Structure 1
């Protein structure tokens, strides 16, 4: 750095000397020779020579430094390249190790997952086995053969205990045994006699007051079943073997069995819930409306043919006033339309047709009364039945969610609602739709008869006028 500064200073001095040496002469080409000019020229030459030598030395030094710096730069680049190559190799090795570790981790995770599934399966199997053993114990307990409960024992030991108890129960259930005991008659009277047991699935009772097959009465007691045969029970008690037996298969002695018999109509409706009663009420309303509509149409169409013939004959005979009196005395929808035509026989044909159509439309309201309501009831009854079905199924699934499917009797309420409402909806809808369409067709025929009777009168009046 010091050498470079000295070189710059020498270069500045040399420049100043060259500038002084080359300064212009005085005007006219004659330079004024000042004293000491030769000495100054000699000093300048020496300074310039020294300056050149210094410049050459500095230049040689700088070139040498440049070569050294270039060599050091090449060495640094080579070292950097070697380090980059080494780092790249180390990075490749680390990536390879990372991939190997990830592969190992995946295998370990898979093994862990398999181990967890195996553990869960074993835990679930153990739970199922415990539940099965508990259920077996409860069933054997109901039959009177439950072994002593020892939860501290291992599962194989408890299973062996259940198996031994089940074998004892099977041996007892496979025999017919007779013993003294009590049972209830059909009227609820408790009597003493002999009990004939077919294992745990059926029993017979024999006493002086009554004999026959026995059914559970609740709490382990038995009662006489109404439809059983006394002769079978007496034969079994005497050690005989009848050709056929009227058995009552017992599912659980602790749960009483009632003789349901045939359900009445009210019981069926009651099993359908509130929606069933709504459907029945709509059916009653539809029946009442159909009856009223039948009465209206019967009155409206009773005298159509008679009025048409009688009034037509009077008009053809030239007695329109008498024909009008007949219509007023007869009454009814047809008589009103014909009377309107008779009152306006002298009007132009177009006006007369309008009067007949207007009167017919006025009577149509009377003839169409309750028709639309009947069709509405016929349409909504099956929809209410479907609503009851959905409601019943929801109740059934709620019971299944809470209690499971072990006891079908718990599901009977929702199933009854689901099926009974659909049945009642169709029972109401089908006849209502049929009667509604039949009565509507009848009303249309009455309307056609009214117009025909009025046109018959008009035509006969015009024929009379043409003949006159």
Structure 2
């Protein structure tokens, strides 16, 4: 009996040990299964929440117009008008921004077309013709911008590539281009032509400048050289060339510039003639008229006439003509002097009216050229729009250059007319004074 009890106890102990060993493994398995089930439930819950949220957003989106209509319906008529004005103003701002971005993009395309390689040119040619506010070609525009950034990254460190350029005689030259940022230098394949490159939007190929050609040739050989750098991409050099060529102003002035130049030349001629006429006049001294009166008092008219011939002044001719009427009385002499004075005044005013007309007409001709240039500019705007100002440059130049030349001619003409008129009036007043002095002297006799 004891043996049986011992056997039973041993069996129970063995079973308890086995259960104790298997219990932790079962708990771990149950925990892992519960965790997996919890994850699955969470994922299912998230899917349900996403689906519900999407349906809620769709419902909100569908309800938004109805809510907006309800709000508009509850507004007063004045409030709706104010809201409509605000929306239209915002729409105009957005349209202006879109047009500005489109103009900037068009300018980028024009500049990039000059420097682009074959792949870039093909990309540019794919651009839609209508680059207005429409959304067409947005992907192509983005691709072109990416290409432009890639080109900038390539040339920032400097690159040498095969290219072509237009020489000073219009020939197309093949060679190599050394580019650093916006700066480019060219060397022909035969090594004869070298210089910096200038963008030429009309021909599609850059134009070769021959300044510092020897240094450019050394640059391609890898030798250290000093070169003039135009960081504006050639614009500063072009402006300097325009400012250094005065004859270019005559070409920009248009047809209205030639009448201004013509009246300027005639005004200069009249001014010179008048200056030489007044330069010959010499003011008589104080004893000259007293000597003439003394000779008349003594009855020696021939000596008095000889004294008038020795003086180069209009008063001398006037007094000499009046001596022939001394025997008729002083009153007759006075009338003759006034008659001669009118002739002297008319002679001294000669050439001056045309100078005055020039001073008044030149600004008007300049204004006429300005109006003509503005009309031409607005005609160009009607065809090309305001995106690119280069086609309008001719009309603007004609408008400004004619005004410039009109003022350049009018201001000196006005100054010259004022000075010559003052001198002429002084001579006339002095002539009248000498004539009255001569008549008063005769009366005393």
Give the TM-score band, short-chain normalised: 0.5 to 0.7
Partner of 1:288: 269
8 Å Cα contact 1:183-1:190 kept in structure 2: yes
Which of 214, 229, 232 aligns to 1:230? It is: 214
Report Cα offsets for 1:122-169 as digits up to 9, x if no partner: 996998699589849956666243289599x99775565455444433
Matched, 1:196 2:173: no
Report Cα offsets for 1:226-270 as digits up to 9, x if no partner: 2235325523x3446656553586589xxx9997684344x4234
Partner of 1:360: 341
User: Helix, strand or coil: the match of 1:205?
Assistant: strand
Partner of 1:393: 374
* Aligned positions, number: 357
For residue 440 of structure 1, report the CA deviation from its aligned partner: 1.9
Partner of 1:212: 195
Which of 168, 182, 190 aligns to 2:150? It is: 168
Report Cα offsets for 1:290-316 as digits up to 9, x if no partner: 2333344445x3475596465344225
Partner of 2:292: 311
Partner of 1:443: 424
Computed over aligned residues only, the root mean square deviation of the Cα atoms, in angstroms, reads 4.8
Which of 398, 409, 416 aligns to 2:397? It is: 416
Unaligned stretches of 5+ in structure 1? 1-99
Using a 3 Å threshold, how does the CA distance of structure 1 residues 114 and 387 change in structure 2: closer, same or farther? closer
For residue 447 of structure 1, report the CA deviation from its aligned partner: 2.2
8 Å Cα contact 2:374-2:396 kept in structure 1: yes
Partner of 2:43: none
Report Cα offsets for 1:41-94 as digits up to 9, x if no partner: xxxxxxxxxxxxxxxxxxxxxxxxxxxxxxxxxxxxxxxxxxxxxxxxxxxxxx
- Give the 5 Å matches for 1:453-468: 453-462=434-443, 465=445
Partner of 1:336: 317
Using a 3 Å threshold, how does the CA distance of structure 1 residues 283 and 326 change in structure 2: closer, same or farther? same
Query: TM-score, with normalisation over the residues of structure 2?
Result: 0.62
8 Å Cα contact 1:215-1:224 kept in structure 2: yes
Larger radius of gyration: 1
Distance of 1:406 and 1:448 partners within structure 2 = 64
Partner of 2:22: none
User: Helix, strand or coil: the match of 1:179?
Assistant: strand
Query: TM-score, with normalisation over the residues of structure 1?
Result: 0.59
Moved more, 217-226 or 354-363: 217-226
Unaligned stretches of 5+ in structure 2? 1-69, 129-134
Distance of 1:246 and 1:212 partners within structure 2 = 12
